[in-house]
Chain A
């Protein structure tokens, strides 16, 4: 079992990170080095400055708000929570004063960020069981949502246990030591491979690794492409 833990917590993390970085770089280079489209793809009337409206379209999703307000609420909640999760993970690497402008205990959001993510992901998943979204969906759509849900669920569970059930077996300092050891290329899983929560951590890291590995080859590349596409429309 220890070997499985080690594989997931060390070599698989490096592999996932490598695939994510190289895969994403390859996709970005291949896409943006393709020939430019010979004519405008703008929708009129124009609104200027175009870059500002493209940012507006990308981050506030006005078309979704107009045509499906319920979906928009879940989408916005999901994406904001996802951003907070990324910030939370950055704080797991080191104390960053800038991120403590509003003082908070790591992980940010008192457990509710994970809850919002979980609920939103279930909404996105069950929405796809209904027509016409069911017919539009392909297996990738379901698998990605399930994968993200499992990643979020096991990650959040560790946060919830500390925040809501006063679990003290494995704390932020332990995660930080583990991640720091990975960054320094001197991996040490001793900090996180004891206690009941190590199982949760291993599952969280396992699913997160899978997520990072499929990221560049899936529709999640919209995180990098969305602004460029909205710029074309503007």
Chain B
């Protein structure tokens, strides 16, 4: 790595040095309490999978360039030069971490490994060493935001096709416009993922609840956040913020996608609309009596996987359980305390990387499979696209014998007349 590149990367590093980041990088006592926190370590072992070790990969570079101790006595804290080998170590640390933040629950100081890994990801982006697939997907999302007109007609045509599905399955709930798009003055803007499974059941429930809603032109997923590029994260988020403002909606409802929800909820700042997850909205409809569910539609024990970015990291914990209490009389939680639910092993962009990470994802999430199996459940519900894909793969690999379902589609299927 040449001097110029290193200096540019260190400038990027410095930009990440917020108050919180400095606290996290200055303080770890390497007590090792976080050892058992990471699902990767619990499933596969390996000191390099301990949260403190991951963080130390970044911290050693911090010590070398931003701390007096690292400059004067580099051996004391094992500070390290930022070089090509260092980049590889950053890659290995960042892309074996799903950013679930379970380790934050263990650490006596609450050191946030995901935040520290965001430095690693940004340095990789700066060096052009991040996974190409994630950057490509992020760029596509950004481009879509800049040229809405070019894909508008194709999108609308696709939606008209989906409307047939809504009408066919939920005749009474469909209404005149089963999937409204670009509706100014709607109360709620629903931001879905690409794919019927994210749009059709949600439309049925909105219509059943009599919601004044409209569907976003954009997909919710934020690949900028996965790849750790703050600029692209903001550009992708801003497309939705601007659409919500243009349509003057009161609420932006994010589909079952953990990262999309957390980014929009926690990074969009003060806006004239509130941000909710689809799970929160469904729970509200039930509480207000706007929808009713038929318990007889769901057969067998149900358990629920808390998506890390929605539950532990954004607080949507009671709502899915409230919904499930209306869906089944046989629900069993995986843990007494939702903070300790194991990560599915697919976050942080790992699922989006597909086959490249498949073997690692399967090996590193053995504890999740065990946790699901212990419940004896027939249905494993969740509220995140990533988690759903990963849990489906785990189901196959570990022969868990469950049906993996989106909570929203269970709600849609159980709508009572």
Interface string of B266-302 (1 = CB under 8 A from A): 1101000000000000000000000000000000000
A221 and B27 in contact, given A31-B19, A38-B267, A63-B105 (Cβ under 8 angstroms): yes
| Complex-state Cα separation, A135 to B78, whole angstroms | 12
B32 touches A61 (CB 8 A): no
CB distance from A13 to the nearest CB of B (A): 22
Say whether B401 faces chain A, with CB atoms less than 8 Å apart. no
Residues of the B chain whose Cβ atoms lie less than 8 Å from the Cβ of A138: 30, 56, 76-78
Q: What are the residues of chain B within 8 A of A33 when measuring CB–CB? A: 19
Interface string of B159-182 (1 = CB under 8 A from A): 000000000000000000000000
What distance in Å separates the Cβ of A205 from its nearest Cβ neighbour in chain B? 23
How far does the Cβ of B115 sit from chain A's closest Cβ, in whole Å? 7
A133: chain B residues within 8 A (beta carbon): 30-32
Q: Please choose the segment from B106-114, B148-156, B206-214, B356-364 that sits at the chain A interface, where 4 or more of its residues have CB less than 8 A away.
A: B106-114
- The answer to whether the Cβ of A64 comes within 8 Å of any Cβ in the partner chain is yes
* Chain B residues, Cβ within 8 Å of A42: 315
State which of B47-55, B192-200, B249-257 sits at the interface with chain A: B47-55
A63 vs B108: C-alpha distance when bound (angstroms):
6
- The answer for the CA separation of A41 and B109 in the assembled complex, in Å, is 13
A41 pairs with B20, CB closer than 8 A: yes
Proximity bits, B11-24, A CB within 8 Å = 1, else 0: 00000011111111
With a cutoff of 8 Å between Cβ atoms, the chain A residues found around residue B19 in the complex are: 31-37
Please encode chain B, from 33 to 48, with 1 for each CB lying within 8 Å of some chain A CB and 0 for all others.
1011000000000010
Query: Which one, A37, A46, A136, contacts B47 given CB within 8 A?
Result: A136
Q: CB of B414 within 8 A of chain A?
A: no
Q: Does A100 contact B (CB under 8 A)?
A: no
Among the listed stretches A167-175, A190-198, A226-234, which one makes contact with chain B, having 4 or more residues with CB under 8 Å of it? A226-234
Contact flag A136-B110 (CB < 8 Å), given A46-B315, A219-B28, A222-B27: no
| B76: contacting residue among A139, A230, A232, CB under 8 A | A139
A192-234, CB under 8 A of B: which get 1 and which 0? 0000000000000000000000000111011001101110110
Contacts of A64 in B (CB 8 A): 31, 33, 108
Q: Is B398 among interface residues, defined by CB-CB distance under 8 A?
A: no
| Beta-carbon nearest neighbor of A135 in chain B | B47
**Complex CA distance for A226 and B53, rounded to whole angstroms:** 20
- CB contacts (< 8 Å) of A141 on chain B: these are 29-30
CB pair B27–A219 under 8 Å, yes or no, is: yes
Instruction: Flag whether A97 is at the interface (Cβ < 8 A).
Output: no
On chain A, the number of residues with a Cβ less than 8 Å from chain B's Cβ atoms is 48
On chain B, the residues within 8 Å of A219 by CB distance are: 26-30
In the complex, which of the residues A45, A136, A233 contacts B315, with contact meaning CB atoms closer than 8 Å? Answer: A45
Contact residues of A: prevailing secondary structure: helix
Which residues of chain B are within 8 angstroms of A162 by Cβ–Cβ distance? none
- CB closest residue in chain A, given B24: A229
Contact call A225/B109, Cβ cutoff below 8 A:
yes
A71 interfacial contact with B, CB 8 Å: yes
Q: Is the CB of A233 within 8 A of B32?
A: no
- In the bound complex, CA of A45 to CA of B336 (Å): 13
- CB closest chain-A residue, reference B20: A37
Nearest CB in chain B: distance from A159 CB, A: 27
B89-128 Cβ-contact flags toward A at 8 Å (1 or 0): 0000000000001001111111110010000000000000
Query: Across the interface, do A226 and B76 meet the contact criterion of CB distance under 8 Å?
Result: no
Q: Are B30's CB and A221's CB within 8 A?
A: no
Residues of B within 8 A of A184 (CB): none
A68 contacts which chain B residues (CB < 8 A)?
33
Known: A44-B317, A57-B110, A140-B76. A225 touches B30 (CB 8 A): no
Establish whether residues A44 and B315, one from each chain, have CB atoms under 8 Å apart when the complex forms. Answer: yes
Give complex CA distance A135, B53 in Å.
8
Residue of B nearest to A218 (CB): B69
User: How close is A37's CB to chain B, nearest CB, in angstroms?
Assistant: 4
A63 nearest CB across to chain B (Å): 5
Residues of A within 8 A of B52 (CB): 136
Interface residues of A in 128-150 (CB under 8 A from B): 131-133, 135-141, 143
For residue B245, CB closer than 8 A to chain A, the reply is: no
Please judge, given known A-B contacts A135-B53, A219-B28, whether A43 and B110 are in contact too, CB under 8 Å.
Answer: yes
Chain A residues, Cβ within 8 Å of B23: 31, 225, 228-229, 232
Which of B136-144, B306-314, B374-382 contacts the other chain? B306-314
Residue of A nearest to B46 (CB): A132
- Contact residues in B for A57 (Cβ distance below 8 Å): 108, 110
- CB neighbours (8 Å) of B104 from chain A are 41, 43, 233
Further pairs besides A35-B18, A132-B47: 20, Cβ < 8 Å:
A31-B22, A32-B19, A33-B19, A37-B19, A37-B115, A41-B20, A41-B104, A44-B311, A44-B312, A46-B315, A136-B32, A139-B78, A217-B67, A217-B69, A219-B28, A219-B29, A221-B26, A228-B23, A229-B111, A232-B20
19 contacts between A and B (CB under 8 A): A34-B22, A37-B115, A43-B104, A44-B311, A45-B315, A57-B110, A64-B108, A136-B56, A138-B56, A139-B75, A139-B77, A139-B78, A218-B69, A219-B29, A222-B29, A229-B24, A230-B109, A232-B20, A233-B104
